């Protein structure tokens, strides 16, 4: 991977745009704000930052997050010298921002999804890394960049959230190594932990309790799933951020091997979030045009929610759980 080229292109570009993926998580937001902080610190240059959809309130503590603008506030005809996608496995994850990405003089793709097709002019993809935050920290080190506390907080949050607090299978020696370096810079793990994991709203907890109470169990409880209808969301005034962590709660049941949540979308389609303990759910989601990681993946199915759930169950039945 050509780190000096990345350094040169960032150094010479006059206007830079960093893009995070739709339904942003801690990794894409932490990576975006971390990269912004590092560019600002190392080159005294401000970049534009773009979100595609609503940012969950829980991440409001991230330095520079208030400088992120929504896609709707961007002029799509603008031409950037450099556009950098972070944690964006495929270009459909940035929706209409693809126009801006395609038009840029130079395109960089920084990611850790194994399904990433290396669509950039320059690609930094490490499927062995826990998170894009980890990939970025390595880029900073290779480029000899300073990493200040703001950037460190952002990258630590990216790693923490994508590893589910260093619990998931993607947690490797390098993950702790990187996190250790960030703590050395001044990140306080207990402080970030509280901000991320002990800030659930009452709405989220009550809504998820409702969804869990309706869960269905199949195949000796090896399969756990729940269907979330539009009317459930309305009843609790729950936003999309209230879905966060729901599938993991079903997977956390001792008997569960595979868990999914099928959510009825406004347009009548279905959004599926899938988690497993052994089976490769990225493979299952790819059949429906989605993707992700081995134990955590998702897809969107153009079918009413109950029919979509049936299709998913049919596909699951073909797999060793």
Report the 10 Å Cβ neighbour count for 228: 24
Query: Coil, strand or helix: which one is 264?
Result: strand
Smaller CB separation from Mn ion, 123 or 201: 123
The residue number whose beta carbon is nearest to Mn ion equals 27
For residues 32 and 88, give the distance between their C-alpha atoms in angstroms, rounded to a whole number: 11
- Name the one range near Mn ion by CB under 5 A: 130-138, 194-202, 210-218, 252-260: 130-138
Is 134 a binding residue for Mn ion by CB under 5 A? The answer is no
- Name the one range near Mn ion by CB under 5 A: 46-54, 87-95, 182-190, 201-209: 87-95
Smaller CB separation from Mn ion, 89 or 238: 89
- Measured CA to CA in angstroms, residue 98 lies from 102, 107, 181, 204, 292 at distances of 6, 11, 34, 32, 20
Residues numbered 11-30 forming contacts with Mn ion, rule: CB under 5 A: 27
Residue 321 CB, nearest approach to Mn ion (Å): 25
Q: Residue 146 corresponds to which tokens in the numbers above?
A: 């300073």
- Measured CA to CA in angstroms, residue 300 lies from 108, 207, 216, 248, 309 at distances of 26, 22, 20, 18, 11
Provide the CA 2 distance to its chain's centre, in angstroms.
Answer: 24
Are 266 and 230 spatial neighbours (Cβ–Cβ below 8 Å)?
yes
Smaller CB separation from Mn ion, 29 or 147: 29
Residue 196 CB, nearest approach to Mn ion (Å): 15
Q: List, in order, residues 6 or more apart from 28 with CB less than 8 Å away.
A: 20, 21, 86, 87, 88, 132, 158
Provide the CA 220 distance to its chain's centre, in angstroms.
Answer: 32
Residue 282 CB, nearest approach to Mn ion (Å): 13
Ramachandran sector of residue 268 (left: φ over 0; alpha: ψ -120 to 50; beta: rest) = left
- Name the one range near Mn ion by CB under 5 A: 124-132, 136-144, 199-207, 249-257: 124-132
Smaller CB separation from Mn ion, 13 or 292: 292
Residue 27 CB, nearest approach to Mn ion (Å): 3
For residues 123 and 41, give the distance between their C-alpha atoms in angstroms, rounded to a whole number: 23
Smaller CB separation from Mn ion, 93 or 271: 93
- Measured CA to CA in angstroms, residue 240 lies from 2, 76, 188, 245 at distances of 38, 26, 29, 11
Residues numbered 145-174 forming contacts with Mn ion, rule: CB under 5 A: 162
Report the 10 Å Cβ neighbour count for 104: 22
Residue 136 CB, nearest approach to Mn ion (Å): 11
Residues numbered 210-269 forming contacts with Mn ion, rule: CB under 5 A: none
Residue 317 CB, nearest approach to Mn ion (Å): 29
Smaller CB separation from Mn ion, 296 or 309: 296
Residues numbered 25-54 forming contacts with Mn ion, rule: CB under 5 A: 27
Residue 217 CB, nearest approach to Mn ion (Å): 29
Smaller CB separation from Mn ion, 33 or 316: 33
CA dihedral 45, 135, 296, 154 (to 10 degrees): -40
Q: Residue 8 corresponds to which tokens in the numbers above?
A: 């040169």
Are 292 and 298 spatial neighbours (Cβ–Cβ below 8 Å)?
yes
Q: Please give the size of the binding site for Mn ion, defined by CB under 5 A.
A: 5
Is 87 a binding residue for Mn ion by CB under 5 A? The answer is yes
Residue 67 CB, nearest approach to Mn ion (Å): 21
Smaller CB separation from Mn ion, 94 or 316: 94
Interacting residues with Mn ion (CB under 5 A): 27, 87, 131-132, 162
């Amino acid at each position: 991977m050509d780190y000096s080229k990345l350094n040169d292109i960032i150094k010479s570009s006059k206007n830079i745009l960093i893009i995070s993926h739709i339904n942003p998580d801690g990794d894409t937001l932490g990576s975006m704000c971390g990269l912004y902080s590092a560019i600002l610190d190392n080159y005294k240059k401000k970049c534009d930052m773009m979100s595609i959809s609503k940012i969950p309130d829980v991440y409001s503590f991230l330095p520079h997050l208030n400088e992120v603008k929504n896609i709707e506030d961007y002029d799509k005809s603008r031409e950037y010298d450099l556009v950098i996608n972070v944690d964006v496995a495929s270009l459909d994850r940035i929706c209409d921002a693809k126009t801006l990405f395609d038009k840029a003089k130079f395109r960089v793709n920084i990611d850790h999804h194994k399904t990433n097709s290396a669509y950039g002019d320059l690609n930094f993809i490490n499927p062995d890394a826990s998170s894009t935050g980890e990939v970025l920290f390595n880029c900073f080190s290779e480029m000899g960049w300073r990493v200040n506390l703001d950037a460190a907080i952002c990258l630590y949050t990216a790693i923490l959230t994508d590893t589910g607090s260093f619990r998931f299978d993607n947690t490797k020696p390098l993950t702790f190594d990187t996190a250790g370096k960030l703590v050395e810079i001044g990140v306080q793990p207990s402080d970030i932990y509280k901000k991320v994991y002990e800030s659930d709203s009452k709405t989220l907890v009550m809504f998820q309790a409702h969804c869990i109470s309706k869960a269905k169990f199949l195949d000796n409880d090896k399969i756990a799933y729940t269907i979330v209808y539009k009317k459930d969301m309305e009843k609790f005034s729950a936003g999309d951020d209230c879905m966060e962590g729901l599938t993991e709660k079903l997977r956390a049941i001792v008997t569960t091997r595979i868990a999914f949540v099928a959510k009825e979308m406004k347009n009548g389609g279905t959004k599926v979030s899938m988690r497993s303990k052994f089976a490769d759910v990225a493979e299952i989601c790819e059949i429906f045009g989605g993707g992700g990681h081995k134990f955590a993946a998702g897809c969107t199915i153009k079918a009413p929610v109950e029919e979509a759930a049936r299709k998913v169950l049919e596909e699951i039945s073909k797999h060793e759980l």
